[in-house]
Chains A and B, each alone.
Chain A
Amino acid sequence: MNDLKFAFRQLRNSPGFSVLAIVTLAIGIGLNTAIFSLINDLFLRGLPFKEPSRVVHLFEGDKSRDLVDIGVSAPRYEHFRDGQTLFDGFAGENFFLFTLTGLGDPVQVFGGRVTSSYFDVLSVRPILGRNFLPQEQEGADVAVVTKNFWQKRLGGDPNVIGRSIALDGTAHTIVGILPNMPATWFGANPIAEVWTTKPFQIPGFTYERMMRGTSFLRVVGRLKPNVTLKQVKAALPSLDQSYRTQYPNKIDSSLVTTAKTLPEDVTENFRAGFITLFAAVTFVLLIACSNVANLLLVRFSGRRREIALRMAIGASRAGIVRLFVFESLLVSVIAGGVGAFVAWRLVPLVPRMASNFLPLEANTASSLSLPVLLFTIGLSILTGLLMGLYPAMQASRADLVDGLKEGGRGTSGSIRQQRFRKILVCAQVALSVTLLAGAALLITSFMRLSQQNLGFRSQHLWTGAITLPTAQYPDTASRQRFVEQLLNALHDVPGIQNATVSGDTPLNGGNQTLYARGDRDLPPLEQRANAPSHDAAPDFFKTWRIPILAGREFNEHDTADSQRVVLISQTGAKKVFPGENPIGKTLLVTSAATPCEIVGIVGDIRSQRIKQEPGMEFYLPWSQDNFPFVNVAVLSPLKTEAVTKLVQSALSKVNPGLAIAIPQSMDAIVAQALGQARLMMILLGLFAGVALLLAAVGIYGAVAYSVAQRTGEIGVRIALGAQAADVLRLILIQGLMPVVIGLGIGITVALALGRLLRTQLYQVSPHNPALLLTTAIVLGLVALSACLFPARRATQVDPIQALRTE
């Protein structure tokens, strides 16, 4: 207790040291707490389902056809459900956007069509009412909604069970209210609020077409107790084989099933990024620790007389070490408190920057939970021990007799301490250069990514989505009529320069559709190539400003009854028809191998991801091929909100029961597509900046202290003939030696850790020599500046004064 009191007093008596040490450590601990808090929310807290690790997500894929982690078809789902023995329950969901009417203005709400077993498999218990019953899966119009939906849209009506809501124009009876589902469960998709049954109905698809093996279901299963994921993975090949044998002609018969546990599945896209960020903040903390360790070393060494006195009156070495470790711990614990406060203020900024691609809920991410606080406390204590122990042990070695003499020199101790200080500088530089190299790679990668030619122009482009109720728009012709009416209505609106619709929007999908050349033998389904296909209305290319390179665009003559036509992308033309003119040739599209005449070649676009290199893409006229999902694109110089109002008003004239979902500018979508790369760049850049600053302070501190300690020696050297340049050289060489060694180690570590970043980089090698060299030069210059100030001071040492002090 006395030691603690004394430690408090010591800190109070040296406010300069205390503030510097606490601020330095608080930055390190605060950043670590902030990132740990995000990691806790994303990875550790787990989904609020019962035993989430028992829930397994099944995917399909075929690497040879570039199909990775796609959904499961209805026939495969049924085959697996009936053939497996490892799961207690099996369920599927078809993500869906409903139009909700009858509760004020029509709105679009996110949700899904699920099997009746879905919430039982997830083990989600309703707050009110019940889950779906097996007999409701195919026939009944029933719905369950979340608590949020219930309170926001139904006013928290206590008699809500049995009440009806209109979804896509059909009355659905509410049978249950569910707790709000976690954001992590939906990944990058919007949070769902409402679910209905009839999961095997895809609007716009006939039952026959759907049963050909179209992959669309998100399938989950709950493992039986004591069954492991390994056992499931071992059982999947035989299930795949039996499906292949039983259904050799399905589109998906050749696909391979993979399984992931739920926690693994919902976080895998962010895992690499967060490992990088956590490594980065750990580096920052280590740099901060070494800075404070250096300060402590100076501070403790300066108290040699006090140590000697304490020992002379009976203190043991262990007692001295304990006293100093208390001081170090006190600094780190106070810094932990400040750091927790910093994290509490920082963490809510991340969901604000990243709500579009990180499944974080603003309210949970903004509060520091118990595990996060425990982490901070543990980290503070560990930090205190880490940085305090060695300086304390060093200081406690003071020679008693020498220490009691004022001005005793204790040379050997100072040599050891000098070496320790050099090691600290070396480590700081190594950590900083590694971090800087990582940041430089991500910044370059982001710059390359943001400079990619997307193939379309996003400026002044507005997009929004409409889901057409199947009851009102049951077929291609009715949906074509709707689009004609909507485009006509938009055509007359002042402020709108161009408008079009399509089945999807660039950067946001495109159905993977089978295709084959019409002039060759038709390959079997499982060998047929696939590419993103887009249903596009007239003026699509004009509105999106995608160039027509040959042939023509769709026009009003391309009707449901006319010759089926298709446009293909430039890279697709080169890939599928190398050295030939594809115009006039036939492309067989979809599993039904519908013949379409190629009437034009258009510029390449990035239809799915900015990172994806352009490939084969094809476009079908909306009039000949469409689904009830309409994406409207409008070219207008007006603001997004103004365009939304204009489009909603035009839509109301066509059908007052429809609503616009996700209205936004295309610029915002592009920014969102770059969001994760941008966030990583900003965060790592910030951490690298902090690391650089701390390292500069550390190097400056170490060199300045060394100069102060060596004033006498410098005075002797000047007296013996050293000139300013000699002193400058001496201090710079000695100050920069550990920097050079640290740079070497750091660059080696950066090369070794580069693979960690590989998945997050675009068109940049993690071993890019120019970037690594630039990083080393930047850090070298910063280190040189940090050494230069104390070195210049050393040249101004007055030899007489120095010799007298000596």
Chain B
Amino acid sequence: MIKLRRLERRYPLGKEKFFYVLRDINLDIEEGEFVSVMGPSGAGKSTLLHILGMHDSGWAGEYFLAETAVHHLKPKERATLRNEQIGFVFQQYHLLDDLTVYENLDIPLSYRRYSKGERAALVADMLDRFQIVGKKDLYPSQLSGGQQQLVGVARAIIAEPKLLLADEPTGNLHSSQGEEIMELFRKLNDEGMTIVQVTHSEKNASYGKRIIQLRDGWLVRENR
């Protein structure tokens, strides 16, 4: 599913001096895997996730997603590939405050080629699947953190991505809410979705099938 070769991300510090966030990353993730990325703050976990999610394009090296050489794609082609393959869950949920739950779920679909009818059906399915039909007209500020993240996950998978990227998805939740989200991830993974999550929590990492350790931008260890 994902193949990274000699991947590197750096920022200029001065004349010919750079600050390296990621160095010489070589990584393979198979389809259907559930991978947790761990490491101390500043290790490059979120940067790696944003590169995988194609939010960041200032990297060097090779990145293959589903056999497609991302490093050769133009920005528009990358955006199309991302929209086809990837869903993203954020630590701070990042629901749009001015939109209802229903409208928040509809947003990713509005940026993809779905007809109005298809969008309505998919949103209805998702509300049903996540058991939040009763909350469809509420605004994010009217939901608890766990409920907001639930909507965040629903929004990430509504366009049926093959790869789900999650950046500390339970970081802002208390433990029972966190468990609920992680159970949901496990279920999605069991259904065949590839998941890569960034987490600080050993417990959450244990939901995955593989753990990758990053330190100072280097991939230091892989546990299966």
Contact = CB atoms under 8 A, between A and B. Distances in A.
Interface of A: 409, 411, 415, 712-713, 716-723, 726, 799-800, 803, 806
A719 B108 CA distance: 9
Interface stretch (B28-36, B92-100, B202-210): B92-100
A415 B108 contact: no
A717 B97 contact: no
Chain B contact residues (Cβ within 8 angstroms of A): what range? 20 to 34
14 contacts: A712-B94, A713-B96, A713-B97, A716-B90, A717-B107, A719-B94, A721-B79, A721-B111, A721-B112, A721-B159, A723-B76, A726-B111, A799-B50, A800-B50
B56 A800 contact: yes
A152 to B, nearest CB: 75
Interface string B70-100: 0000001001001100001010101011100
Contacts of B83: 721
A341 B82 CA distance: 60
A719 B79 CA distance: 10
Interface of B: 50, 53, 55-56, 76, 79, 82-83, 88, 90, 92, 94, 96-98, 107-108, 110-112, 141, 155, 159
A411 B97 contact: yes
Contact of A409 (B88, B97, B112): B97
Given A411-B98, A712-B94, A716-B96, 4 more contacts: A720-B108, A721-B82, A803-B92, A806-B92
A288 B154 CA distance: 47
B154 to A, nearest CB: 12
B50, B98, B111: residue with the most chain A Cβ atoms closer than 10 Å: B111
Contacts of B56: 800
Contacts of B155: 720
A137 to B, nearest CB: 84
Which secondary structure dominates chain A's binding surface? helix
B90 A803 contact: yes
Contacts of A799: 50, 55
A415, A719, A799: residue with the most chain B Cβ atoms closer than 10 Å: A719
A409 B96 CA distance: 12
Nearest to A411: B97
Contacts of B141: 411
A735 to B, nearest CB: 16
A169 to B, nearest CB: 89
A622 B82 CA distance: 95
Nearest to B108: A720
A721, A803, A806: residue with the most chain B Cβ atoms closer than 10 Å: A721
B88 A719 contact: yes
Nearest to A412: B141
Contacts of B55: 718-719, 799-800
Given A717-B107, A719-B55, A723-B111, A806 B94 contact: yes
Nearest to A712: B94
Contacts of A415: 98
B108 A721 contact: yes
A722 B80 CA distance: 10
B176 to A, nearest CB: 26
A720 B111 contact: yes
A92 B63 CA distance: 101
